[in-house]
Chains A and B, each alone.
Chain A
Amino acid sequence: MAGKLILAGAAVVAIYLISVPLIFLLGTAFRGPADFLPFEPGSRWTLDNLWDVYLDPALYRSILPNTAIFAAGSVTITFVIAFTLAWLVERTDLPFRSAIFTAILFPLLVPTVVLAIAWTLLCAPNAGWVNVAIRGLFGVQGPGPINIFTMPGLIICQGIASTPFVFLLLCAALRTMNPSLEEASNTSGASPIVTFFKITLPVLRPGILAPLILATLLTLEQFDLPLIIGFPARVNVFTTRLFFDLNAEDQLPKYGSAAAVALLFLVIAILLLALYNYMVRRAERYVTMTGKGYRPTRLKLGRWRAPALVFVGAYLTFAAVLPALVLLWTSLTGGVTWSEATLSWTAYEKLTSDPRFWKAVVNTFIVAACSAGIATLVGALISWQILRTRFIGRNLLDFISFLSIGIPSVIAGFAVMLLYLSLPIGVYGTIWILVLAYSYRIAVTTRLSRAALMQIHAELEEASSISGAGWLDTIRRIVLPLMTPALLSSFLLLFMVGFREFTIPMMLQSDDNWVLSVVMWRLQNDRQTGEAAAVGTLIVLFVIPIIFLMRRYLLAQQNND
């Protein structure tokens, strides 16, 4: 009985966290007029928002094409870099593979805001390090030659930032490929180049397309770089459009019109998600073709060794080393030019004497830990329910939890905002609204714990029942201990996702619930570059040990060299 209540509770929480905010979003798209809150007395049902948004030529002239160019461009760059890196690490005798694998994870864990601000410090047209260096080397004058505040700048930065995630997925795809397939081509008389194009790429195609679609989905929802690099460049994409609809300087938030924009992108995201699901199934069909005799042989790089190392080095320099250095330097000098720079702890002293900084630190950890805890618990319970019971609603539950991958975080943040604006329970503006908003990502847990549950044969649980244990005892003494590693992984992953989060706390920010990423952005915006860089440096210092933790425990099985 207690068991049934707990399961039902988990299902209700999951559905509530994911779908209720979306229902409010859907409703808001059809509520007006604009000077009322969507569900305030006085507002009414209307199609005005839809007409305003979808009849406005600006949507078709700037937002849609900009979003498309941004997504297509950066996904292309991500793919070229990530595939090359994954292939080098997994299939060649590249030296230092293991260390390189670890280093590539850096931009995955460091919040993108931190990288974004670091890159503006590197490539801003006037004072950016890279520009200063180039001007010094070639004796040119004036600003430039590189201007990061352009569409190409935005695309390149986003491409680099998304690389590690796609890299991990591609490594997994490459690893599941049976190397005999390529060897059979060699012994059939095909040269390595022909083999690569006729066998390797086609066999990997579904395994490559699935990450490609996921990367597109994730790029669509990117907000950090479009805000920090795209906005000064006057490049508006869908996420920033939504944000400025709600945070315009000179007018009231336009909830209805923002919701109408969000609808379109929600539909696109869900279509991409369906496509992703289809590709994953196809990839699995190809993988099951492998049999015994697995023996990965690594391609000898020979004289390509040096160029390969240069490529990896260049990526790591721009994605990890230079950002970390520029943040450290700027935090110690306050962001002045080279010649006037003196090292001092001023920025750190100012930062640590400000109670708002400490509050943000506490907020960041509370929100990341609580939301990771909620999502892990709820996700584990519903995946048990989906796999082990015959409960009628389990397919719906499965669908809704999977849906959570596809909801862009701007939309999630916005939907939660609408819900608690209308629901007077006093969480609006506190850190608890952030906890509720972050917790929708239960798909991470359901995926990991389903994989773990499938390893635990149902007979282990049945044996426990036969031995006289009730449901709760079986869960507590048999299932939980066996699932602990998967649950810990899921908690750690979600904790890092929450720690990096910038979009949702920006959407829902008030003076009380700042987190570190928001603080860093505000400092940078107020031209307190030194302090902003100090926050970034501290974040990097916190993340570095976590990278090693992750490498050791989460990705340990990938250490195959």
Chain B
Amino acid sequence: MLKVKSLHKTYQGPDGSFHAVRGVSFEIPQGGFFTLLGPSGCGKTTTLRCIAGLEDADGGSITIGEQLVADPTNGVHMPAFRRNIGMVFQSYAIWPHMDVFSNVAYPLRVARPRPSHDEIETSVMEALKLVGMESLAKRSATKLSGGQQQRIAFARALVRQPQLLLLDEPLSNLDAKLREQMRFELQELVARTGVTTLYVTHDQAEALAMSDQVAVMSGGQIVQSGDPRAVYERPQDAQVADFLGIANFMPGRISALGDSKSLSVKLDGSIGVLRLPDLNSFAPETAVRVVFRPEDVVMRTAAADDTVEGRIERINFQGTVSECHVRAGETLVRMLIHPSVRVQRGDQIWLAVDPTRCVVFPAESVALR
């Protein structure tokens, strides 16, 4: 449905030029929900705006449906208003001089050929019903709350049943509780209309919860893409792992075990050995980092052959969980424990990690913190 091929965009500014998007490629199938996930400033909005036609791409090509809309090397630049899209802006961009109804009716009123009065009325009320705002049709746009503005923005983007829906961090201007609620509504909405959606966010929870496909962006490039669960569990490199909130990076060295052919990681400081699958791509004696999430660490009260010894340095009570900082050899391991577990600062404990939840990267690819 949407095909983006090696897209490039460079901004020319007064103090030099800035290469914001560097060869981004991806495809979204009909009805798919695709998310661009990445830290602020990585080029997500720019990519989205090139697809919308608000920004002219410098290289690559964009195809929406069957229509080639941008191909700068061949001089193709279809202006935004000719592309059949709906877009929700980060600031919602509700027009202050119109009431709710006129805001939503606008895409139909400017359409050529223009639908009849009754058709417009029906479609607008349908779109408003979709977002649960049909009772506010006559309200002035200056008298809407953030959540209401957002719903109106959705209704307006969907009213002419576009081929493609573009969403630029639509939840980031809402407070935490409303954001949660709107996330479910949005999912529901997109599922019901079946519109192909491109979603941009810096919030991994949003991305993982809603999408069929996620692409993690960094420095103007897509560094990893795929099924949300796969990206979450198997980050491709340390940068992605870091962005996805993996907090533990344990240094170690690959060692061949005497009794079998399998390899394992001997952790630095001789504090323990981890037997992990998938180590065959590493040569023995390679310096590596073992990467895992705080929630995948379990606490044992006695030593075993798969445990690492440590001492509790700090406990942060956070309500539903407590976060423990455990000193193991040179490194600090973060782990989550249930608040009912009675441990104290200074206690000696043993840590174990589920080997299937660990990822190993070569040491030189990870900047130590």
Interface residues of A (CB under 8 A from B): 178, 180-181, 183-192, 194-195, 198-199, 202-203, 205, 285-286, 289-295, 297, 561
Contacts and interface: CB of A to CB of B under 8 A. Distances in A.
Given A291-B173, A292-B173, A191 B81 contact: yes
Contacts of A292: 90-91, 172-173
Interface stretch (B93-101, B206-214, B256-264): B93-101
Contacts of A561: 14
Contacts of A190: 81, 106-107, 110
A221 B234 CA distance: 75
Which of B55, B86, B110, B157 has the most chain A CB atoms inside 10 A of its CB?
A: B110
Contacts of A198: 106, 110
A543 to B, nearest CB: 28
Contacts of B91: 178, 180, 290-294
Interface of B is mostly: loop
B81 A189 contact: yes
Interface string B96-118: 11000000001100110000000
Contact of A183 (B86, B89, B106, B160): B89
Contacts of B366: none
Closest 8 pairs between A and B when the two form their complex, measured CB to CB = A293-B90, A291-B91, A180-B93, A188-B107, A184-B93, A186-B80, A190-B110, A187-B87
B85 interface: yes
Contact of B81 (A178, A186, A295): A186
Nearest to B46: A295
7 contacts: A183-B80, A188-B86, A189-B160, A190-B106, A190-B107, A190-B110, A292-B90
Contacts of B96: 203, 285-286, 289
Nearest to B104: A188
B53 interface: yes
B92 interface: yes
B142 interface: yes
Contacts of A290: 91
A511 B169 CA distance: 70
A202 B80 CA distance: 21
A205 B97 contact: yes
B79 interface: yes
Interface string B5-43: 000000000100000000000000000000000000000
A294 B173 CA distance: 13
Contacts of B93: 178, 180-181, 183-184
A297 B89 contact: no
B304 interface: no
A547 B82 CA distance: 45
B160 A181 contact: no
A117 to B, nearest CB: 39
B142 A289 contact: yes
A180 B107 contact: no
B254 interface: no
B92 A189 contact: no
B155 to A, nearest CB: 12
A413 to B, nearest CB: 41
B92 A187 contact: no
B168 interface: yes
B69 interface: no
B142 A184 contact: no
B90 A291 contact: yes
Nearest to B14: A561
A296 to B, nearest CB: 12
Which of B14, B86, B93, B166 has the most chain A CB atoms inside 10 A of its CB?
A: B93
Contacts of B52: 183, 187
Contact of A180 (B79, B83, B89): B89
A291 B147 CA distance: 13
B110 A186 contact: no
B277 to A, nearest CB: 45
Given A198-B110, A285-B142, A184 B53 contact: no
Contacts of B157: 187
Nearest to B103: A184
Which of A185, A189, A195 has the most chain B CB atoms inside 10 A of its CB?
A: A189
Contacts of B55: 297
A181 B85 CA distance: 16
B54 A183 contact: yes
A184 B110 contact: no
A157 B86 CA distance: 48
Contacts of B166: 187
Contacts of A289: 94, 96, 141-142
Contacts of B110: 185, 188-191, 194, 198
A177 to B, nearest CB: 10
B156 interface: yes
Which of B55, B87, B97, B141 has the most chain A CB atoms inside 10 A of its CB?
A: B97
A291 B96 CA distance: 12
A185 B53 CA distance: 12
B142 A188 contact: no
Interface in B143-184: 153, 156-157, 160, 166, 168-169, 172-173
A460 B172 CA distance: 33
A205 B94 CA distance: 16
Contact of A181 (B14, B84, B95): B95
B54 A187 contact: yes
Nearest to A179: B93
Contacts of B92: 180, 291
Contacts of B90: 180, 291-293
Which of A188, A291, A295 has the most chain B CB atoms inside 10 A of its CB?
A: A188
B166 to A, nearest CB: 8
A186 to B, nearest CB: 4
B48 to A, nearest CB: 11
B97 A286 contact: yes
Contact of A297 (B54, B156, B173): B54
Contact of A184 (B79, B83, B84, B95): B95
A184 B97 contact: no
Nearest to B83: A187
Contacts of A192: 79, 81
